[in-house]
Amino acid sequence: MATITLRVLHGPDRGRVFSDVATPVTIGREEGNSIQLNDERISRYHLKLQDDHEKVVVTDLESTNGTRVNGEDIQVRVVRAGDIIQLGKSTLLVGSRTDIDERISAMAARHPPAADGHARQLQERLHKITSHPVDAAEDVGAIRSPLRATAGPPPLPDRLSPAQSAELIELIEYVHRSLRDASDGLLRVGPERVELDYTEWQALLDLQARLAELLRDSAQPKEA
């Protein structure tokens, strides 16, 4: 059974720490939740955190005002130490200081030429976001995890069947081919400027729309 630590950065419960809470965890304003927050803008049962193959997955429970992870609206998302969950007026930081330090160290190890400076920069960014409350009127979408920009792409899912692996490869190849075709149509008009043919631009927009539909369909609960 996995455990998770959540620290409230902003909102009515600012400063509260929920340490090593066993998953699954539900968060909402109702008493029956694992974590009850005094925030009138969150739903009675707002979101759920659960362990899945040694990863922690957050799922929005069809809340009224939605859930954001690192500033992006989500329905389901893997979260890691240093990520930021936003619901209602509340902002939660995932992980204890030790959890986040371990992730920073692991990330810095992937940047050997500047490992020390890289880790220090990440720690400074993390300290800044945890030490300076954001005004309630500010768009919470502007808040980003200090680890997000340098984390790189998410890892590929493991424990896939051969058929699932083949389907994933086909999807990645489709996206790669679409981006390659668009980049082949770029026209350089200066040393620091390129233009894209309108047809290729529309192809990119179509790819974005298709991926948006795929993300929505993938996040919908599957009927038994």
Q: Is the pLDDT of residue 59 over 60?
A: yes
Q: Is the pLDDT of residue 76 over 70?
A: yes
Q: Which tens digit of pLDDT belongs to each residue from 167-208? A: 888 888 888 888 888 877 777 676 667 888 767 777 887 888
Q: Which tens digit of pLDDT belongs to each residue from 130-169? A: 555 444 434 444 555 656 555 567 777 878 888 888 888 8
Q: Specify the higher pLDDT residue, 193 or 224.
A: 193
224 SS3 class: coil
Q: According to the model, what pLDDT value does residue 124 have?
A: 64
- For the entire predicted model, the pTM comes to 0.68
pLDDT band at 107 (very low <50, low <70, confident <90, very high): confident
99 SS3 class: helix
Query: Strands (DSSP E) along the chain, which ranges?
Result: 3-10, 17-22, 25-28, 35-36, 47-52, 55-60, 67-69, 72-74, 76-79, 84-87, 90-94, 186-190, 193-196
Q: Specify the higher pLDDT residue, 11 or 132.
A: 11
Q: According to the model, what pLDDT value does residue 178 have?
A: 86
Q: What would the mean pLDDT of 68-74 be, rounded to a whole number?
A: 90
